[in-house]
Amino acid sequence: MHLRCDSYGKAFATAVWIAAVFCVLPMNTAQAQTSGKLRLLVDPGDSYEFVVDHQFRMQQREVELTTGPHHFSFWAPKRMVVDTTLVVEEGRTKSVVLYLPYSKDYLVYQRELQQYQRTMRKYRVIPAVITGGAALFTIISYSKAKKAHDQLEEDRTAYDENRSPTRIDVLKYETIPADKDDFKKANTQYLVAAGVTALFAGATVYLYHISGKIPQPEFIDNEKLRFDGLTWVPGPQGGTWMGGITWNINR
């Protein structure tokens, strides 16, 4: 849930600007000599952002601040917002190493996504692989049946062209019956394989259809909403004040 108050936001932003010009900046100028640096070594290193003193949203590896304690809120996509106070020492550059833990929402999403992927594997990949295997077996069986059929055609040609009565007898009463048996076996195997493949294909289509109704988990980065709510975010029309309230009704 977000609260947007453009008109009040603009007025408030103007007031803050005037206060900054007349009050904050002269103080900063007076205190400019007593500053220090913080070098931020944050995991993940490429996408983190932070808010300093509940006001200034930044995205950089090194920050120069006035000496003393400063409040930091760190955040990165999929990670939790981490609030901490860092002390800046005069004239020194301090390195801060920080690991942003994954947010609970993301961990839950990851678990649900893995469960979804396992379900998809069960409903889609495994049946498809079995059907593919059956189809391959059918193709091999067909190839064998075709070969046996071709052998019968060769037997017929051999009969027509043979010039030996003995070989004709062997061909007619031994070779051809044996080749016919081979063809019968190969053809039966092919028909059974084709039938089984058709059944598996049907089952695969059915499971594919069923699995299409299972919703895919969606990740909503509530920590980002919380982090965005910490600061004023300028927009193309000026600026807006944003606040975030998260209420996870699943728990």
Stretch that binds another protein, among 13-21, 44-52, 86-94, 200-208 (CB under 8 A): 200-208
Residue 173 touching another protein (CB under 8 A): yes
Q: Which of 53, 115, 113, 58 is nearest to 84 (CA)?
A: 53
Q: In the window 28-67, what residues touch another protein (CB under 8 A)?
A: none
Residue 160 touching another protein (CB under 8 A): yes
Q: Which of 246, 233, 236, 238 is nearest to 55 (CA)?
A: 233
Binder of another protein out of 53, 184, 235, 248 (CB under 8 A): 184
Instruction: Please report which residue ranges of 162-233 form alpha helices under DSSP H.
Output: 165-170, 176-211, 222-228
Residues 114-143, mask of contacts with another protein (x by CB under 8 A): -----------------x---x--x---x-
Binder of another protein out of 201, 225, 232, 240 (CB under 8 A): 201
Residue 169 touching another protein (CB under 8 A): yes
Question: For the chain, first and last CA: distance in Å?
Answer: 18
Instruction: Count, in order, helices (H) and strands (E) of the chain.
Output: 7, 9
Tell the smallest beta-carbon distance from residue 196 to another protein (Å): 11
Tell the smallest beta-carbon distance from residue 144 to another protein (Å): 11
Cβ-proximal residues to 100 (8 Å cutoff; 6+ apart), any chain: 42, 43, 44, 48, 74, 75, 76, 79, 80, 82
Q: Which of residues 83 and 169 has its CB atom nearest to another protein in the complex?
A: 169
Q: Which of residues 19 and 178 has its CB atom nearest to another protein in the complex?
A: 178
Give the position of tokens 């509530």.
Answer: 222
Binder of another protein out of 73, 80, 106, 204 (CB under 8 A): 204
Tell the smallest beta-carbon distance from residue 160 to another protein (Å): 6
Helix 126-161 vs helix 176-211: crossing angle, to nearest 10: 160
Residue 178 touching another protein (CB under 8 A): no
Residue 103 touching another protein (CB under 8 A): no
Tell the smallest beta-carbon distance from residue 105 to another protein (Å): 33
Q: Which residues pair with 235 in a beta bridge?
A: 238
Q: Which of 126, 134, 118, 110 is nearest to 217 (CA)?
A: 110
Q: How many residues does the chain have?
A: 251
Q: Which of 212, 89, 194, 102 is nearest to 140 (CA)?
A: 194
Q: Which of residues 32 and 192 has its CB atom nearest to another protein in the complex?
A: 192
Binding site for another protein (CB under 8 A): 131, 135, 138, 142, 145-146, 149, 152-153, 155-156, 159-166, 168-169, 172-173, 176-177, 180, 183-184, 187, 190, 194-195, 197-198, 201-202, 204-205, 208-209
